[in-house]
Structure 1
């Protein structure tokens, strides 16, 4: 791929920590006109997580799962971010650096509450704590067909006003923070009878829910949030090649990139 130094928009795309169809995923970004993108894998991403390190990028898109070392059939080792990373990431939010968190990125840095606060939710691969409260492991189900319906009128859902259908993965999670702007909801019943235990899956017991209890989860699939002084968008779908190639999903993701990097989003975040 040609390096586009003259592109009006440059997005850093961070991956690693969870398997995915790499040709289909990166092909999605190759098809986006009027922008360029740079792929960086964890843990190298961490070296760029500061206002200085990320200065060449207009937005940061996370499709990674840092802070966990999977050891199936045993529970994962949980790794805390360094103090340098914490300081740099907070500095990015304070500086208003736009961010997008995609699909499994909501599981990142499980030992650091500030990361979940920036996103607005967390996927727990095993039971954990957030701000002194115990949470069960989260739920997953795939492939499942569902319809996404926009809530309100927002630039991120422009052109998707009639809703659209995907076959993708869904999560059973709770919202952790107030102050989000709902963007898309799914017409699916988010209760534990329709999902499977993430902790069981890591013990090589996929597609089971025995011994697992989880309360009702959110039907929100996408939302916007002010994190520090930064506009952020979280999109929970994005599991496989079928979704990467879906025209509506591509529109959603490109809309999110265009919006978080807009003057309007920056002004919104500063005024929050």
Structure 2
């Protein structure tokens, strides 16, 4: 694709450091970036903000409000759901990053688009019942490239070190696996998200979560377009990592070529 491409970035619903994230967005060459935060982002997309986008970067976790030891949820508006569905139906491409896999708990189709779901409470995902998901901050691990011929992994070393948050959550839709973490995805290495919401931030007491996949990046078709999910991306160290920046730049260019 020639000329400047248009990137729509959606954020909000989960805290992040704005200035380092803005530096990451500025590193994407050849893109004009429109960055929208929730709740305004939901309204803007419903009113057509995605219509002219060549790619969308989802770095949002909308549909939640946290307080009094619980996570209250709500679905997106009908017009937002239709706008996102229509975007992919006409061949639009997207990258969903990190906590986006937890977004819109009351819109199951969103989890189906991503091929996975992070749950703050026990519930259903892809037709199965699951415990609340797990998290662990500042995990040091190696990311391992699974498909060196894929456009998103072009120029990456076969494995590279990261220090970032990992999730223990169900994954079912990794049509094209791209990266895995050299880390054991078992309950002993994670904390319960539900217990964190109640104020016990680093606890897995009585939480008998099953082992999960070690995949941390994959591609899958959505509508007539495609979506790449990338689990790394919790904070400034990840934003600045040259290998993650390369992966994201490659992935955005790839999905925009749908």
TM-score range, shorter chain: over 0.9
CA distance, structure 1, for counterparts of residue 87 and residue 81 of structure 2: 10
Q: Which residue of 1 aligns with 2:160?
A: 164
3-state SS of the aligned residue for 1:69?
strand
Say if 2:190 is the partner of 1:187.
no
Q: Give the counterpart of 2:121 among 114, 126, 150.
A: 126
Say if 2:160 is the partner of 1:154.
no
- Cα 1:131–1:237 change in 2 (3 A) is closer
Say if 2:234 is the partner of 1:247.
no
Q: Assess if the C-alpha contact under 8 Å between 1:174 and 1:218 holds in 2.
A: yes
CA distance, structure 2, for counterparts of residue 126 and residue 243 of structure 1: 27
The one-character-per-residue Cα deviations of 1:31-80 (angstroms, maximum 9, x if unpaired) are 22222211101122223436943122111111111111111x41111101
**TM-score, normalising length from structure 2?**
0.94
The one-character-per-residue Cα deviations of 1:13-46 (angstroms, maximum 9, x if unpaired) are 1111111111001111112222221110112222
CA distance, structure 2, for counterparts of residue 186 and residue 16 of structure 1: 26
- Cα 1:205–1:59 change in 2 (3 A) is same
Q: Assess if the C-alpha contact under 8 Å between 2:112 and 2:126 holds in 1.
A: no
Structure 1 segments of 4 or more deviating over 6 A?
A: none
CA distance, structure 2, for counterparts of residue 185 and residue 132 of structure 1: 25
Say if 2:188 is the partner of 1:204.
no
**TM-score, normalising length from structure 1?**
0.90
Say if 2:102 is the partner of 1:107.
yes
Q: Assess if the C-alpha contact under 8 Å between 1:224 and 1:232 holds in 2.
A: yes
Q: Which residue of 2 aligns with 1:143?
A: 138
- Cα 1:238–1:21 change in 2 (3 A) is same
Q: Assess if the C-alpha contact under 8 Å between 1:7 and 1:36 holds in 2.
A: no
Q: Assess if the C-alpha contact under 8 Å between 1:50 and 1:92 holds in 2.
A: no
Q: Which residue of 2 aligns with 1:63?
A: 59
3-state SS of the aligned residue for 2:202?
coil
The two structures, once aligned, show a CA RMSD in angstroms of 1.7
Q: Which residue of 2 aligns with 1:175?
A: 171
Q: Which runs of 5 or more residues in structure 2 are unaligned?
A: none
Count of residues in correspondence between the two structures: 256
CA distance, structure 2, for counterparts of residue 233 and residue 77 of structure 1: 28
Q: Which runs of 5 or more residues in structure 1 are unaligned?
A: 1-5, 267-272
